[in-house]
Amino acid sequence: MSEVVVHPSRGKNEPQLPACGVLLVNPSEACHAARIFGQEGWSRHFLFHSNLYLAQTSPAIFWAGPAVGAPMAVICLEKLIALGAGRIIVCGWCGSLQPNLGLGELVLPTWAISEEGTSDHYPLTGVIESSPRLRKALKDFFVDTGKELREGPLWTTDALYRETREKVVRYGGEGILAVDMEYSALIQVAAFRQVELAAVMMVSDLLWQDSWQPAFQSKEFRKRSHGLVADLVRCVGALAAE
């Protein structure tokens, strides 16, 4: 393998992160988290065109975001790992490919079909999955809250506006639950860097119907999505306290 020129690293004045934290993919969730946790006294730090907040209370945890699309998500993840992150929960949205997976439902992704261009630069063999240990922790946490997680594979693509009907039908028929823009790259990098990462995705739109049905602009969906952020911060806090 050829030598890499630029390495992720911790700069002189950058924080040392606790191991556990949340990566919020979407801008609306990151904006909401900045308002809520900023009021609670979390300290803010530089993270490219994103945000990085550290809890000032015990247990020590962090959240970061937004990071839309595989390239930006991986840049943020690489930096978080360089700063000390070792157990990361990703919070994002996905589009359902299955008639029995509805708006606002939660997906716990396992492996992914990659149609993004970032993960190929982190060469690994075999099927890459998210951390089984973190998936179990998430399932146990959400069972206690009375919420169901649908576990299964995703399709990840860079090309939001090139999600064709043929691919929606084909991947849906192969049992792929949903489509997103970051997951396959994030699990590839996590495996390459030997850290633990898992994700919870909320279904924001339906692609399996004849006409596309989005819900991410509705007040009810945003309320549920903000609730997911709060749930995952609590879950990460419990993981950090172990």
Query: Does the residue 10 lie in any domain?
Result: no
Sign of the C-alpha dihedral computed for residues 122, 124, 128 and 133 taken in this order: negative
- pLDDT reported for residue 188: 98
The single-letter code of the amino acid at 233 is V
Query: Does the residue 60 lie in any domain?
Result: yes
Query: Does the residue 121 lie in any domain?
Result: yes
Query: Does the residue 12 lie in any domain?
Result: no
Confidence band (pLDDT; 50, 70, 90) for 56?
confident
pLDDT (mean) for 19-48:
95
- pLDDT reported for residue 151: 98
What is the number of structural domains in the chain? 1
State the CATH number of the domain containing residue 79: 3.40.50.1580
* Angle, CA of 159, 191 and 14, to the nearest 5°: 90
Query: Does the residue 11 lie in any domain?
Result: no
What average pLDDT does the structure give for the chain?
96
Query: Does the residue 14 lie in any domain?
Result: no
Query: Does the residue 177 lie in any domain?
Result: yes
Whole-angstrom distance, CA of residue 187 vs CA of residue 124: 11
Whole-angstrom distance, CA of residue 131 vs CA of residue 89: 10
Whole-angstrom distance, CA of residue 151 vs CA of residue 13: 40
Whole-angstrom distance, CA of residue 66 vs CA of residue 48: 10
Strands 50-54 and 43-47, bridge-based pairing: antiparallel
Residue 66: give the domain boundaries: 20-236
Residue 95 has pLDDT above 70, yes or no: yes
Query: Does the residue 225 lie in any domain?
Result: yes
